[in-house]
Every structure is written in C-alpha cells, then in structure tokens.
Amino acid sequence: MFDKVLIANRGEIALRVIRSCKERGLGTVAVHSEVDADALHTRLADEAICIGPAEPSRSYLHIPAIIAAAEITGADAIHPGYGFLSENPEFAETCAQCGLRFIGPLPEQMRQWGDKVRARSLAKSLGLPILEGSALIEDVEDAVTKAEALGFPVLLKASGGGGGRGMQVLRTAEEVRASFETAKAESLAAFGSDALYFERYLERPRHIEFQILGDADGNIHVLGERECSIQRRHQKVLEEAPSVALTDEQRGDMSATIRRAMGEAGYLSAGTLEFLLDESGALTFLEMNPRIQVEHPVTELVMGIDLVLEQIRIAEGGSLERRDAPLSPRGHAIECRINAEDPDTFVPWPGVITELHMAGGAGVRVDSGVYGGGIVPPHYDPLVAKLIAHAPTRPQAIAKMQRALSETIIGGIRTNIPLHRRILAHPAFEEGRISTRFLDDLRG
C-alpha cells in the first residue's frame, strides 16, 4: 500500500484524486503553477509545491519539476489525472526509473493505444470492429488518392491526436488539397507529430464508449457504456450512462468482445474504448484512451464503483474481484460539463468568480476545483465544474439535472449553463434522438 501520492494535475480532477486518496488513508501532494498558488486543490491536499510558471510546458508538462516535487515530498506514487502527462509513456518510464509508481497503464500500452493508426491496427487484430480508414498519408497527392479510395466525405485526423482536436471533415479532392499542409502544421504544433490519416466520415453517428478496468492478474471488468454524442467541434459537452440506443443484446455482445480483447492485450488500470454507432446499429472502434476520462463519474454512479480508488488499488498490486457476468447499471446518470465560456459563441471567459453556489440535494454530485473569489485562469481548459445527476430513470435524471442547473450560481464569468438547459429541454434529447450533430442542429 502506498503512503503518499502526488497528483500531477490541477483543477477538479486533482481534487477528485485527492478525495479517493484520503479515503484510502494516503497522504496527498498537490503540484501547482504560479498562477494556481491559491487553487482549491493546493488548499485541500496535505502538501503543495510550486513547479513553475503558468505556461503548461514549464509546469504541468515539465517532467523534471514534477519528479523533483515527488522526491522532495517523499511521495511514492504519482497519479496523472487526465490530460497533461496522463498518456505520456516517457513520463511513466521516468517515474519507474526514479522509484515512483505510476498510477495508470504501462508505458508500452500508452504507446500502443496513443498512436491512432497503430491503435486501429491493434484493435483489428484483437477482433474489435473497425471503422474504415487509411494508412498514414505520405503527401498531398497521396492524401487525395487515399480519400478518393475511401470515398467522400472523409475525416482527416492526427495520428497522435486526441480530445477531439485536429479533426477536419473533407468532402472533395479540392478541400483535401487546400487543407492538407495546414493540418500537418497544426498537428505538429499540437501533438509533436505531423502524421495524418483518414477515417470514413459518418454524418450522424452516436458516440458510445465502454469503461474498463484491468489488473496484473489478467482480470478485465467492462463497466458498461456511456453516451457521449452531445459534442461541439468533436469535444464532449454532456454525457450519460447508460445509452438509450443500445439493446441489452448489443451491450452484452460488445462487453464480451471487449473483455476478451483487452484480456488478450493484458491491459492494466482504467481505460476507455470509444466507438461510433451508425444508423444501422453497427458499433465500430474509434480510439482507446489509456487513462481516466473526464466523464467517469456517470459510470461511478450507475455502477456503484470508485474508479480512481480502483486505479490506486491496481497500481498497488491489488486484484479485481473475479466476475463471470458484467455489472448491471443502477438507474441513469447525466453529466454536464460547466465551462467558463460564452454559451453561444463558446469563446473562453476566464476571470474572478465573484459569487458561487453549487447545486445539492439527493442524487446530485458536483466535481469542481473552484471557489468564490477564486480565479479561472486563461492558461488552461475552461472546465469549471462537472454537475452530475443520478436517478432511477432517464426522465427523472433529466428533471433532476434541470433542477440542479437552475440552482447553480456562478458570478463574475459567463458559463455554458444556459446551453445545457436548452439541450435538456429539447424534445429530441428527451426522446433520446441524438447524434454527434445534435448541437449543430440545435444552433440551426
């Protein structure tokens, strides 16, 4: 069992990890940039240490500073949260070289799944259904050839990308030629690689993902699915569990396929396999994220499990309970990502929070890293809070979320709460008739 865990992250996920550590009796160390000196995660951890200026490359992405902080404070493990260094195999290897346990997958697993083209090949070899796509693109003329062979429209993607960034829908050869060099440059700047590939573009799919846990004994738990179809610019806005689009047969068949595939792969820790569900009802593999996800709370609520605590137990060498059948969801959960941004234009809106009242009551959970008088800095993701509602049925969860949103007060900045209320009140959402184009349709 660990004695002290350093959390190499900030905001709500840092606070989320701190909570599970404290409930397990572990000491906690927060790291922070200069601009985050008074952030909530630094206040609630047992210890806090500054690791550099506001720029992520000089603080939250600066591996030597984080390792030094762990050594100075005597931490024996590091939890990376999500984002930043959570999928960086070099960081995990450095932790091991310095005698620190990385709470997450093995470095080679991050490499396998982090490169999207390599991940597609691996998923196919493991028997997962794959969306049609291309090999890596060599140059602009090769791009045109591959796009035409695949059939327009196509989705141009960065092989090293993630989080919905670096994607472009292209419908003609002319658009491919006009976009290719810019896409390469953007990919290189964002991900350190200009490798690109195509996937067949589905006009109105649903985005479905399955949560897994794996231990060192080869046990794999598939903890149901999440519906993540409400997106803007390929980035998730609202998630729920379970999905109303899957039948029990589909859910059971895919869970069994994933359990077998990831057992064969020897996957360790928490991970999420993402799929697209087309209008015919076919699920096809999109990508695998070898880390905890932003939207993990909806799975925790419907499955009655603490995923972060399980990550810690697995990293300590603990085993998952053997199960012959998957867990069944209890009720329905919805998560709204509350961002500091204009609800219509999505322009970030950092600033000082002058007034704060978070919703409460039965079945309402708030994961947040802000407080009244605190600052939402412009240097990081604009996520302010995750508001999660859990109820016996989906209509009840929607009603509970509407109530919770109505009593959430965040002054001094703009947030996307009005957008969430419009989504939840829309007849198509209430009836479960959604796709990844839902917000485009909502905005007209």
- Joined together, the tokens standing for residue 227 give 């519906």
DSSP 8-state code for residue 153: S
Read off the tokens for 318.
């603990």
Tell which residue, 228, 257, 258, 260, has the closest CA to residue 241: 228
CA nearest 398: which of 336, 339, 440, 337?
336
Give the burial class of 234: count Cβ atoms within 10 A of its Cβ; 0-12 exposed, 13-18 middle, 19 or more buried: middle
Strands (E), 151-234: 154-158, 168-170, 196-200, 206-214, 220-232
C-alpha 311/C-alpha 58 separation (Å) is 27
Instruction: List, in order, residues 6 or more apart from 208 with CB less than 8 Å away.
Output: 225, 226, 227, 228, 229, 243, 245, 246, 274, 275, 276, 277, 283
Identify whether the C-beta of residue 238 lies closer than 8 Å to the C-beta of residue 386. no
Gap between the Cα atoms of 300 and 73, Å rounded: 31
Q: How would DSSP label each residue in 363-405? A: TEEEEE---TT-EE-TTS--EEEEEEEEESSHHHHHHHHHHHH
> By the 8 A CB rule, do 353 and 373 touch?
yes
Distance between CA atoms of residues 419 and 343, nearest Å: 6
Residue 16 falls in the annotated catalytic set? no
Torsion angle of C-alpha atoms 318, 267, 228, 419, degrees rounded to 10: 60
| Tokens encoding 234 | 């390929």
Owner of token pair 């729920």: 240
Neighbouring residues of 441: CB distance < 8 A, sequence distance ≥ 6: 428
Q: Select which of 259, 291, 313, 337 is catalytic.
A: 291
Which residues are part of the catalytic machinery? 291
